[in-house]
Amino acid sequence: GVGTADPQGSTYSLPAGPGRSMAAYVQSARGPVVIEDYTTEDRFTVPEMFLRAGMQSGVAMVIHGRDAQYGFLGAHTRRKRVFTEDDVHFLQSLANVLSEAVTRTGAEAALAASNRLGRLILEAVGEGIFGIDRSGRITFVNPATAQLTGYPADKLTGEDPHALWHHSKPDGKPFPRSKSPILKVLADGRRRHVREDWFWRADGRIFPVDYVVTPLLEDDRICGAVVAFRDITERKKAEKALTYQAYHDELTGLYNRAFFIERLERAMRAARGEGSGHFAVMFLDIDDFKFVNDSLGHTVGDRLLRGIAMRLWNTLDPGDVIARFGGDEFAVLVDGRDVPGKGLATAERIHEELKKPSRVDEFEFYLTASIGIVGDVAGYDGVDEVLRDADTAMFQAKSRGKGNSEVFDRAMHDRASERLHLETGLRRALEHGEIYLAYQPIFRLPDRRTVGFEALARWRHPSRGILSPAVFIPVAEASGLILPLGDFVLRECCGRMRQWLTDHPGAAGMSMSANISAKQLMQGDLAARVGRILDETGLDPRHLKLEITETVLMENAEMAVALLTRLRDLGVRLSVDDFGTGYSSLSYLRRFPVNELKIDRSFVSNMDGNPEKFEIVRAIVQLARALNLDVCAEGVETEAEFDGLLSLGCGLGQGYLHARPLPADEARMFIPAPPA
């Protein structure tokens, strides 16, 4: 009979005895087990069925497979018999035959199952898989190969894949068989992974592939290879998109800072190799662009930036590179022999281009840019130094006013260092109370009665003494410190005016003037900030006058109208400062909700001896009268100037003739007594 062994092929090592089964004993034995008499057997418990069947003698053994025990083979008899060595040998031979039969049957079944699984895998995978023989001819293909290449699967066996889809490079030039990684594997037997190559479809189109070629060996001899490939079109698109994102500005589509720095590094290496730097670097900042975002929102600002970027790009020559560094800052790499000259010429074209109006919906913008230029890079070791000096030149240009360019020179380092020291000191001064206000009386010309004051910031510097606004206000503007400084001035002068109104009945009709900078005006919340300060100090808005320069108003006229309207609605008075130095449009001037024009001191100075100045002042006074505005002359220093202004009908004046800027305790002495 044939029995079944433990499915795991386990070997037991229990001690012999009646408590042990016959199967366990035979399975643990090293060879055939001979039983001379079942009735007296004490090595194991004799199966009950053997005793019922009257079995007397027998022999049993395990059928061993290659990796497991397949079962048992036994011969049993109802009469006592001594099994000879030949009997046992015969049974062992029979067990071996059975083992081979079972092994072969299992292997064939396993092979069939493996073949079925292999076919299913080949048909299911999305990768193309094909085999080639020693001569490079196709031996099999899976459906994906046919789908990807466009050739019918049943027509590919025996064909040359190199001739079908690997015959040419993407540019159409022939690709020699000797260069083919696929065919090289047949020659040297080395597995190859090609991460990017190109195959041709049956319709003549090309597609990118990633493939692995694995040699097939038989008795250590190369008999062919298997190629597994996949279409990497989507991967290439993703890589291209990632590369674009890595080197382009998302908003404008221009190159970004990372690309510009890499390009500049290459240019500098090339320049050092040639012995001269035939390129210039320009750093460009759109003047007062923050005003657009703060007043009209980032949606309008972003659309305006996209338009600016395209216009800047169109001004450049082929070979020049422009990148957006962030915000409203751009960098340009200008290529050419006469780079300092070409850099200035390019900057001039940019200035001219930006003079043209930009429109976003109903808004019209007249923009300017400050541009710093580095034209000679021969002495530079790194990109950071070039960008630092271009930035320094840009700030120098900005300090001269909007819409200017500057070529960097070494002396700028000293000025930049001075500016940095002033900025650091100014930050400290705001924190430690070194800033204070002086008050210059404003008087009525006909009776010389003081009717108000202008608050002017002063800096009590710990080592340099008293610094005038002309020294530190440009630094405050450039650094952004003008915002906390402006808030300080407003809060201080409003509090002072509130105190004087309380202490001096004669101040009842007076006003306090404070200057509003371009950056303050461009803060979209200026009206709200002024309102909060008025509430905090308890000052009636009618006693506050805000002075804003004509140039600042006209640079962003449409937005200025809206902002001035919000300020007027608070109840404060508004004055156009430095009038005559800008380029006011009469149509806008009529729309500005202002109360006063202040004649710039440059027209008042020596007007009595300069007919041209005299006529300019006359025109401004007449214009103010026509627009029903008050007019105040700045810088009145002589009696002759006073007389000339009075003869023209100018109502108010301010200057050293009446009083210079004074500390608060001295300024309050100019508050007149109340009328009788």
In a shared domain, residues 232 and 302: no
Q: Is the pLDDT of residue 15 over 70?
A: no
- Ranking 100-109, 215-224, 306-315, 438-447 by mean pLDDT, the lowest is 100-109
The residue assigned the tokens 């057997």 is 41
Provide the pLDDT for residue 8.
Answer: 41
Number of compact structural domains in the chain: 4
Q: What is the DSSP letter of 156?
A: T
In single-letter form, the type of residue at position 210 comes to D
pLDDT band at 12 (very low <50, low <70, confident <90, very high): very low
pLDDT digits (tens, 9 = 90+) for 66-112: 777 778 888 888 887 777 887 788 788 777 777 777 776 665 655 55
Q: Please determine, for residue 584, whether its predicted confidence score (pLDDT) is greater than 70.
A: no
Q: Is residue 676 part of a domain?
A: no
Query: Residue 395: inside a domain, yes or no?
Result: yes
Tokens of residue 156, six digits: 């590919």
> Is residue 417 included in any domain, yes or no?
no
| Domain final residue pick, 350, 380, 409 | 409
Residue 675 lies in a domain: no
**Which of 9-18, 365-374, 526-535 shows the lowest per-residue confidence on average (mean pLDDT)?**
9-18
Mean pLDDT to the nearest integer, 598-610: 94
Contact predicate 631/616, CB 8 Å: no
How far from chain centre, in Å, is Cα 341? 33
- Least confident segment among 75-79, 322-326, 661-665: 75-79
Residue 261: how many other CB atoms lie within 10 Å: 17
The span from the CA of 556 to the CA of 43, in Å, is: 112
> By mean pLDDT, which of 57-66, 429-438, 661-670 is the weakest?
57-66
DSSP 8-state class, residue 21: B
Q: Look at residue 339 in the predicted model and tell me its pLDDT.
A: 64
**How many residues are present in the chain?**
676
pLDDT at 105: 66
Tens of pLDDT, residue by residue over 117-143, are: 545 545 545 688 999 999 999 999 999
Here the tokens at position 225 are 């290879």
Considering the domain architecture, whether residues 152 and 66 belong to the same structural domain is answered as no
pLDDT value, residue 337: 66
C-alpha distances in Å from residue 334, one per residue of 320, 322, 384, 404, 576: 5, 9, 17, 18, 41
Which residues neighbour 39 within 8 Å (Cβ) at sequence distance 6 or greater?
A: 51, 56
Residues 231 and 140 in one domain: yes
- Rounded average pLDDT over 189-205: 94
Measuring CA to CA, which residue among 191, 195, 235 is closest to residue 216?
A: 191
Same domain, 203 and 285: no
pLDDT at 109: 59
- Specify the CATH number for the domain of residue 573: 3.20.20.450
pLDDT exceeds cutoff 60 at 599: yes
In angstroms, the Cα distances linking 469 to 414, 434, 460 are 21, 13, 11
Closest CA to 654 of 550, 465, 509, 511: 511
d(CA 194, CA 208): 11
For residue 354, tell me if it sits in a domain: yes
In a domain, 421, yes or no: no
Q: Of the residues 74, 96, 121, which one is the last residue of a structural domain?
A: 121
Mean pLDDT over residues 462-475, rounded? Answer: 89
Model confidence over 511-551: pLDDT tens digits?
999 999 888 887 778 899 999 999 999 999 999 999 998 87
Does 47 share its domain with 180? no
> What is the reported pLDDT for 3?
44
% helix, strand, coil for the chain, step of 5: 45, 25, 30
Closest CA to 653 of 643, 663, 662: 643
Domain CATH code at residue 295: 3.30.70.270
* Domain final residue, candidates 79, 96, 121: 121
Dig out the tokens for 546 from the structure: 């805000």
- Asked whether the beta carbons of 451 and 444 are under 8 A apart, the reply is yes
387 and 450 both lie in a single domain: no
Q: What is the mean pLDDT of residues 274-286?
A: 79
Same domain, 318 and 460: no
Tokens of 330: 């751009």
**420 domain-assigned:** no
Q: What residues are paired with 444 via a beta bridge?
A: 449, 652
Q: What are phi and psi of 214, to 5 degrees?
A: -115, 125
Going by their DSSP bridges, the two strands 138-141 and 128-133 should be labelled as antiparallel
Strands 449-461 and 465-467, by their bridges, are antiparallel
Mean pLDDT along residues 583-592: 73
Beta bridge partners of 597: 576, 631
Based on the fold, state whether residues 630 and 565 are members of the same structural domain: yes
> Which pLDDT value is given to residue 610?
94
Domain membership flag for residue 540: yes
Q: What is the pLDDT of residues 380-433, one digit of tens each?
A: 788 999 999 999 899 888 878 889 999 888 777 777 777 888 889 999 999 999
Of the candidates 34, 80, 35, the one whose C-alpha atom is nearest the C-alpha of residue 56 is: 80
- Give the mean model confidence (pLDDT) for residues 56-69: 83
Q: Which 3-state string (H, E, C) describes 171-236?
A: CCCECCHHHCHHHHHHHHCCCEEEEEEEEECCCCCEEEEEEEEEEEEECCEEEEEEEEEEECHHHH
Residues 59 and 154 in one domain: no
Same domain, yes or no, for 538 and 647?
A: yes
Amino acid letter, residue 171: D
Relative to beta strand 630-634, strand 596-599 is: parallel
pLDDT of residue 659: 96
Q: Where are the alpha helices (DSSP H) in 571-652?
A: 586-591, 601-604, 611-626, 639-648
Q: What is the pTM of this model?
A: 0.53
CATH number, domain with residue 175 = 3.30.450.20
Section 628-657 average pLDDT: 96
Distance, CA of 273 to CA of 58 (rounded, Å): 99
Do residue 472 and residue 614 come from a single domain? yes
Is 268 in the same domain as 399?
Answer: yes
Mean pLDDT, the chain, integer: 86
The Cβ-side half-sphere exposure at 120, using a 13 Å CA radius, reads 6
> Where in the sequence is the domain holding 546, given as residue range(s)?
430-670
Mean pLDDT to the nearest integer, 275-292: 81
